[in-house]
Chains A and B, each alone.
Chain A
Amino acid sequence: MTHATQALDQMRPPSPAEPGAGVYSNKLGMWVFLASDVMFFTALIGSYIVLRFGAPGEWAKPGAVLNVPLTAVNTFLLICSSVSMVKAYAAIQDGKKYFLRPVPGKFLRDGGLKFWLLVTMLCGAAFVSVQVVEYIKLVGHGFTPAGFREGSTLAEHAVADPIKYGATVAGLYGSSFFTMTGFHGFHVTCGVISMTYLYFTKVLPEKYSPQDYRGIEVIGLYWHFVDLVWIILFTIVYLI
């Protein structure tokens, strides 16, 4: 960091913490939003559990309809994006606003805020892209929100082995799968859009400093929450 930038950072007055919860209002607002989002996803997950409990037949076996290895890789991608997000957070705390900087005597370069946030955005975009590809393939094979499409490959498999493919409850399975993963995908997309906006309006012009990096902390909270929800969804939708 140059001396001029350092001096400019020190001149910026830090925003006062809120007296009630002890945190600034943007962060408090994000936590309240996340609390409401917990209830939103609970309603979805709760409905899924109730539908599964009360369904007249057995749900499809794990891996029979859905591509678990692909989604496991996608899960890992989202986890990696969470790590790059905390690295971006740590970088701005240390005043590392740069992209990459060589470290004397080391082969690897030191990543700054610009690098780690870009990695997070790319991982998030890759996650959504893989999900879109998964949807296209599933619909192509005949798995739709209404169940198995007549005449499709999956419908034929379901006739041959109705228990493995959960033929009797395919409609419930399809609608709950697409609703839950779709809403989660929407959350990821919103996160990527928000991060892209921050990247071009705040991060590239170096508007954040070790004294004030509220935008990074708030978007980070949202991003980790999206990762947390996916961890639960992956287990209950794909593995159980």
Chain B
Amino acid sequence: MTATSSPHASTEHKRPNYVLIWLYLFVLTVAEVALAFELPVSRNVKLLLLLFLAVWKALLVALFFMHLKFERWRLRLIFIVPLPLAAILVTVVIMEKVW
């Protein structure tokens, strides 16, 4: 099958270990809940750690389940471009509120 004739050309790659990623996601979810309720850390540290874990989990899903890791850059850009725009939107609105 040539690269141009297949509708799935961009997804031909070594298959990730999906069960291992599922285990990662499970452990990270348990860690999040434990962090939110059990660990005696300050509120700001907790907030940063929880956001870090959430982004880590989201990245695992996007890179391995949605196969973004194996897609061409042109396709990745479609998904990546709205993210800085989203960050700008939230930052600007928060700044307006703070000022």
* Beta-carbon contact of A80 and B22 below 8 Å: yes
Closest B residue to A20 by beta carbon equals B74
- B50 neighbours in A (Cβ, 8 Å): 235, 239-240
Kindly state whether residue A197 has any CB partner on chain B within 8 Å.
no
Residues on B with beta carbons closer than 8 Å to the beta carbon of A22: 9-10, 72, 74-75
What bracket does the count of chain B residues touching chain A fall in?
Answer: 35 or more
Q: In the assembled complex, which residues on chain B have CB atoms less than 8 Å from the CB atom of A239? A: 32-33, 35-36, 50
Binary per-residue interface labels of chain A (80-104) against chain B in the complex, 1 for a CB within 8 Å, 0 otherwise? 1011011100100100000000000
Known: A79-B26, A240-B50. A38 touches B79 (CB 8 A): yes
Query: CB-nearest residue of chain A relative to B52?
Result: A235
How far, in Å, is B21 (CB) from chain A's closest CB?
A: 8
Residues of B contacting A212 with CB < 8 Å?
7
Instruction: Given the known inter-chain contacts A53-B97, A53-B98, A63-B37, please indicate yes or no for A235 contacting B4, CB distance below 8 A.
Output: no
Nearest CB to that of A227 among chain B residues? B61
Chain A residues in 8 Å Cβ range of B85 = 39
**How many angstroms between the C-alpha atoms of A6 and B61 in the bound complex?**
32
Q: Which residues of B contact A76 (CB under 8 A)?
A: 26, 29
Q: How far is the CB of A160 from chain B (nearest CB, A)?
A: 21
B4 pairs with A46, CB closer than 8 A:
no
B9 touches A17 (CB 8 A): yes
Could you tell me the dominant secondary structure of chain B's interface residues? helix
Point out the residue from B11, B33, B78, B82 that lies within 8 Å of A217, measured CB to CB.
B11
Q: Is the CB of A46 within 8 A of B83?
A: no
Q: How large is the interface on A (under 10, 10 to 19, 20 to 34, 35 or more residues)?
A: 35 or more
**A residues in contact with B45, CB < 8 Å:** none
Tell me the complex Cα distance, A53–B78, Å: 30
Give chain B nearest CB distance to A119 CB in angstroms: 13
Evaluate contact between B81 and A35: CB separation under 8 angstroms: yes
Interface flags for B61-99 (1: CB within 8 Å of A; 0: not) read: 110011000011011001101110110011001100110
Cα–Cα, bound, A90→B22 (Å) = 15
**In the complex, what distance in Å separates the CA atom of A20 from the CA atom of B78?**
13
Verify B61–A72 contact, CB threshold 8 A: no
Question: B57–A68 contact, CB under 8 A?
Answer: no
User: Is there a chain B Cβ closer than 8 Å to A228's Cβ?
Assistant: yes
* Beta-carbon contact of A232 and B54 below 8 Å: yes
In the assembly, what is the distance between CA of A23 and CA of B14, in Å?
Answer: 18
User: With contacts A14-B6, A50-B93, A68-B37 known, is A39 near B61, CB below 8 A?
Assistant: no
A68 contacts which of B5, B15, B33, B72 (Cβ < 8 Å)? B33
- Cβ contact within 8 Å between B75 and A21: yes
CB contacts (< 8 Å) of A42 on chain B: these are 82, 86, 89-90
CB of B81, distance to nearest CB on chain A (Å):
7
A2 at the interface (CB under 8 A from B): no
Asked, given contacts A16-B4, A79-B26, A239-B33, whether A231 binds B66 with beta carbons under 8 Å apart, the answer is no
- Identify the 3 closest CB pairs spanning chains A and B, nearest first: A42-B86, A235-B54, A239-B36
17 contacts between A and B (CB under 8 A): A17-B10, A23-B71, A23-B75, A27-B7, A36-B82, A42-B82, A42-B86, A43-B89, A50-B93, A79-B22, A82-B61, A90-B18, A224-B61, A228-B62, A231-B54, A235-B51, A235-B53
